[in-house]
Chain A
Amino acid sequence: MQLTLGPLLYYWPKQEVLDFYAQAADWTLASIYLGEVVCARRHELRTADWLALGTELAQSGKQVIYSSQAVLESGSDLSSLRKLAQAGGLLEANDLGAIRIAREAGIAYVAGPHLNIYNGPALDWHANAGATRWVAPLEASAKTVAAILAEKTLTIETEIFAHGRLPLAFSARCFTARHFDLSKDACEFKCIEHADGMLLKTREGQDFLRINGIQTQSAACHALINDVPQLRNIDYLRISPQAGYTAEIIATYDSQINTQQYTANWTQINPEGLVNGYWHGQAGIHSTPEVLT
């Protein structure tokens, strides 16, 4: 079992992104996913910048995988993705159109977490179409993933989203722009002021969701740290980047994988709260307290 770094879901200034990945080059990671998954208007790093960053990280021994946007709409969305695909390597497809682009470029793909693979025949379809790895749907439980793996007939690597704020929904509407009474086309790039998105609470103050441009995330972090010993059928655990503590979180998972124990102050590095309901077959917001402490 190895760790991967999921695509950066937030909009950070270019230098912060470059600094973050310069550190990531030294983290214990098998793969790093690069690219803009959320919003085509985000341009601190353009396609050429992501490709240059990918080349650097590959030289440091990391497997680099470029991720597609989860909602591909415009002609320029598609042409940017074609450029990433033409660079070779692996493409994480988060949209059916991305699979077609990967095939045209003659490259293999990772079937991303938003492709809705819930059964063995669907997974086999992807393996046949050129997928070498799949990421289980975020809402899939341990039991569901085991059932899908039992049902599939072809060889494919399995990755799960193990730690981070869950990217629950994508829209055409930008909720960050809406908050500031701006239109999406004139959003003033407000996302850049919110390195971890904006917290959305219920009217009685419960932390519930997190708005991040056109994406809606969980307010809390999904965390499978205490499930690691049971994850023998999983090849890769994805850690999702966040503004603080990503290095510590990766080190904690690495320690848990290799020594079956960890000593970091777990709650201190996860101040937004932890949930693990999805993996245990419950509502995603549910947390099992005894396995999170």
Chain B
Amino acid sequence: MSAATLPELICPAGSLPALKAAVDHGADAVYLGFKNATNARNFAGLNFTDAQIRSGIDYAQSRGREVLVAINTYAQAGRVKEWHAAIDAAADAGANAVILADLGLLDYAMRVHPQLNRHLSVQGSATNFEAVNLAQDYFGIRRAVLPRVLTLPQVEFVIKNTTVEIEVFGFGSLCVMAEGRCILSSYATGESPNTHGVCSPASHVQWLPQGNTMDTRLNGILIDHFEAGEPAGYPTLCKGRFEVNDATYYALEEPTSLNALSVLPELLRIGVRAIKVEGRQRSPAYTAEVTKTLRAALDAAADARYTVKPAWQQTLSKVSEGHQQTLGAYSRPWR
């Protein structure tokens, strides 16, 4: 396989320095969002103003890279204009694509900005080719990002049955649930990815040290209890320890990150067009390290002698949740 057909590397930027780090370290495209509830990483101190987006697009495009604007929450009734304004601003700024999940917004973007590429967000929950092709039929999408629930053969099955470009996740924090099909966060806190662009929001988190031990709570609900010496992790709802039938364990998922380095040659073979790194909420240093590592791995992945270099694994391990990594749904035993 020639370098020209390598999948694009899509990297996260929560700030202008992160965008520059991604571009400088070999991202083919950077994705980012506005400073409001129109994107699924609506965290304080994160994301871009209109002026910053223009500046970021200039930086990336002048170096031959793309900028994709994530407007991937669901427009809330009565406030739809805010989401339309975000799409208009992305188009005006010269973004290469908008990443959307809401069917009403996809329809709006196609009618008002037909020249602007439309990508179906992972939050759009398209797990099969019929869903991807529906979005192509109605909204002319260029690309769909698949939820992290499919095995490699299932990803291949989608690719074989569509002409839409398929993007998958290669690295980052792992959602154990099908994206766009999880409202655990609003059940506990009233705020979810769909409605507020947040999951297990920091505003509802309590860290409660008791002597040498630590309780972590989300809106008062005990998510985990850490004994002395146990590293206490952020209380993401699905990554806490709970009791089922008197057994206490990570009943849904361990704190862990997805790492697809070992299956990159397979992702190339089946025709994945883009590989995404999660983590717009992380630092520019994270973006730099992960971009550099994934770039090196992707450039090597077309070679039949490809193996995952220990140095890559070490770098990614340092920035992984709980320093743990998994192949997630790509590997059947995980399921």
Contacts and interface: CB of A to CB of B under 8 A. Distances in A.
Interface string B172-209: 00001110111110111110101100000000000000
A207 B181 CA distance: 22
B243 interface: yes
A151 B77 contact: yes
A170 B182 contact: yes
A203 B248 contact: yes
B182 A168 contact: yes
Interface string B73-84: 011111010000
A265 interface: no
A169 interface: yes
10 contacts: A71-B127, A120-B104, A151-B80, A168-B187, A172-B178, A173-B252, A202-B222, A203-B222, A203-B224, A216-B252
Interface string B96-121: 00000111110110000000000000
Nearest to A129: B138
Given A99-B134, A202-B221, A206-B221, A147 B244 contact: no
A62 interface: no
A101 B180 CA distance: 20
A284 B186 CA distance: 6
Interface of B: 74-78, 80, 101-105, 107-108, 124-131, 133-135, 137-138, 148-151, 154, 157, 176-178, 180-184, 186-190, 192, 194-195, 219, 221-225, 238, 241-245, 247-248, 251-253, 329, 332-335
Interface residues of A, number: 71
Nearest to B150: A73
B152 to A, nearest CB: 12
Contacts of A183: 332-333, 335
Interface string A162-192: 0000101111111100110001110000000
A168 B241 contact: no
B300 to A, nearest CB: 29
A287 B335 CA distance: 34
User: Which 5 pairs show the lowest CB-CB distances between chains A and B?
Assistant: A97-B130, A121-B104, A172-B149, A147-B77, A122-B104
User: By CB atoms of chain B within 10 A, which of A178, A209, A283 has the most?
Assistant: A283
Interface stretch (A136-144, A229-237, A248-256): A136-144
B149 A73 contact: yes
Contact of A170 (B108, B133, B177, B248): B177
A185 B331 CA distance: 12
A159 interface: no
Contacts of B176: 171, 173
A74 interface: yes
Interface stretch (A15-23, A49-57, A193-201, A266-274): A193-201
